[in-house]
Amino acid sequence: MSITNILSLLGGLALFLYGMQMMSNGLEAAAGNKMKQILERLTSNRFLAVAVGALITAIIQSSSATTVMVVGFVNSGMMTLQQAVWIIMGANIGTTITGQLIALDVGMMAPLFAFVGVAMVVFLKAPKAHHFGEIVAGLGVLFIGMEMMSDAMSPLREVPQFVDLMTKFSNPVIGILVGTVFTAVIQSSSASVGILQSLASNGLIGLGDAVFVLFGQNIGTCITAVLASIGTSRNAKRTTLIHLSFNIIGTTIFTIVCLLFPLTDLVESFTPGNAPAQIANMHTLFNVVTTLLLLPFGQYLAVLAKKILPDSKQKVHQEELLAFTNDEFMKNNLQLGFSAVYLQQLSEEISKMLRLAKDNVELCFSAVIHKDLEAAVKADETEETIDLMNKELGRYISKILIHDKTGNDIESIEEYFRIIGNIERIGDHAVNIGGYVHVMDKNEITFSEGAQEELRKMQDICEVALNFLLNMGGEPTEWLSKIAALEQQIDDMTETYRENHIERMKQGLCSEQGCILFSELLTDFERMGDHILNIAQAYAKIAMA
């Protein structure tokens, strides 16, 4: 194979891909946001969803584009994981349209399509005409590229080494791997299937060997969605797993069938002598049959994706903590017209939030004392839950106040609103303290033994005060005075430790950066005491209401 053939092959591939992109861009521009609107408004009807996925993919000529779009919708919460299953199934059917178009052998008309399309873009001023011109020109460029690839590969029939390589694809595993890797590299199953059709049309590979490469190409096309899911939500990543598992299951089934039964002979008999059509028909058969087989089990694909990529324990914990704030719960309880039911729920959830904050305070002090980076990271995760609870409980309280303005417990509910704000601030100061560990590790800062002992005492008094809040009982004025005394003790400790800190600085027992960190830590400690007192005062008002 000469350098000219190689350049022609690369040029043909470039034109093929560019033609596909032109068609896709033109179709998306012509349709505006209609495709996205269809997907966004999709109902849970699986048959409709499969049809929509197939139609959109057939139009834009790219299952990867459809899947990437679906990943985006799932990531933004506009589409559920279950809806995504059906769309992906449809997308796999729709992507076979390119192979069928190639099999129709309309290459001789390609230059005419390209000319008409370009003429529309150049000579017509209407934006819509430009978009449709792109579609027509893209189709023409696509087929010109296909013809170039076919002509470039024609001499390979005379190369014994290449023919020998093609015969190795009779090994299913090698064929699947080659199809997967090549499609993953060029990120287009339509293009890789087109190249396979060119090889077959030149007699370089028979259908019996080509099918395994074809099955691998269906797996390789998932790479685009995998790349698109990087940095997205867990559900968005699960969407790509569903796409991948669909094609892996289909490949497994069809590989076994082709090895045990004469399926390739049957497909070959439909269009004898027309190798591109045979590959196109097998591609369509693969995706249609796999969809029909998996359609009744679509929900299990979603379950499988969740098993492979489960929620973090933190996420599950968040969902459990906030179960009662969902709209259905609120709808049922707000219609009751009195606050007794949701007041109890609110009190219990706030206690959970306060317990999380207490645990984080202890964890963050411990992280600083022991320079434990892992503990600091864990504290950040818990803080996410505290922030989420603050947001959701705040939303819940706001709805109560809007719908039930005459309840006897409205003043108590307002105090609960103040309490969750103060708990959230305690959580913030705790993670501030935990965050100093990263600075200490980076700059090799170590606190003196005296400073570490003071840190332990800070941790102890915070634990006592927060435990007191969680186990209040009896006369409100009594426990409020005890909390106030603890808060005053925190203030006194802060003042004493500042003076001790200054003395250590004079003696050169701590570095300049260590001094700054300890001073900031004392500020966080003192402010946590203030918020603890604010919470106690709010609870006292509730108890005396």
Q: Structure tokens of 422?
A: 């103060």
Q: With 0.75 as the threshold, say if the pTM is over it.
A: no
- Which pLDDT tens digit goes with each residue over 224-242? 677 666 656 677 788 888 8
Q: Structure tokens of 11?
A: 């040029």
| Residue partners of 405: CB distance under 8 A and separation at least 6 | none
Q: Where are the alpha helices (DSSP H) in 61-126?
A: 63-76, 81-94, 97-103, 110-123
Q: Give the whole-angstrom CA distance, residue 456 versus residue 370.
A: 11
Contact 393, 431 (CB under 8 A): no
**How many Å separate Cα 14 from the centre of its chain?**
31
Q: Structure tokens of 368?
A: 């600083």
Indicate the SS3 state at residue 96.
coil
Decide if pLDDT at 202 tops 60.
yes
pLDDT given for residue 484 in this prediction = 92
What sign does the dihedral 34-36-39-41 (CA atoms) show?
Answer: negative
φ, ψ (nearest 5 deg) of residue 132: -70, -30
Please report the DSSP string for 440-484 in residue order: HHHHT----HHHHHHHHHHHHHHHHHHHHHHT--S-HHHHHHHHH
pLDDT given for residue 392 in this prediction = 82
Q: How many CB atoms lie within 10 A of CB 8?
A: 17
- Which pLDDT tens digit goes with each residue over 295-323? 888 888 888 888 888 865 555 444 445 54
- pLDDT-based confidence at 103, cuts 50/70/90? low
Contact 426, 361 (CB under 8 A): yes
Decide if pLDDT at 187 tops 70.
no
In Å, what is the CA distance from 367 to each residue of 55, 433, 436, 459, 514?
55, 9, 9, 11, 15
Question: By percentage, how much of the chain surpasses pLDDT 90?
Answer: 18
pLDDT given for residue 104 in this prediction = 65
Give whichever of 30-39, 215-224, 397-406, 456-465 has the largest mean pLDDT. Answer: 456-465
How is residue 32 annotated by DSSP? T
Question: By percentage, how much of the chain surpasses pLDDT 70?
Answer: 77
Q: Give the whole-angstrom CA distance, residue 192 versus residue 183.
A: 6
Domain map (residue ranges) of the chain: 3-308, 315-544
What sign does the dihedral 69-72-76-79 (CA atoms) show?
Answer: positive
| Residue partners of 429: CB distance under 8 A and separation at least 6 | 524, 525, 527, 528, 531
- Which pLDDT tens digit goes with each residue over 329-344? 444 444 433 444 566 6
Give whichever of 55-59, 127-131, 257-261 has the largest mean pLDDT. Answer: 257-261
pLDDT given for residue 188 in this prediction = 67
Contact 309, 229 (CB under 8 A): no
pLDDT given for residue 232 in this prediction = 62
- Which pLDDT tens digit goes with each residue over 436-488? 888 888 888 888 888 889 999 999 999 999 998 888 877 888 888 999 999 99
Give whichever of 96-110, 261-275, 521-535 has the largest mean pLDDT. Answer: 521-535
Q: How many CB atoms lie within 10 A of CB 467?
A: 11
At the top level of CATH, the class of 315-544 is mainly alpha
Q: Give the whole-angstrom CA distance, residue 407 versus residue 334.
A: 11
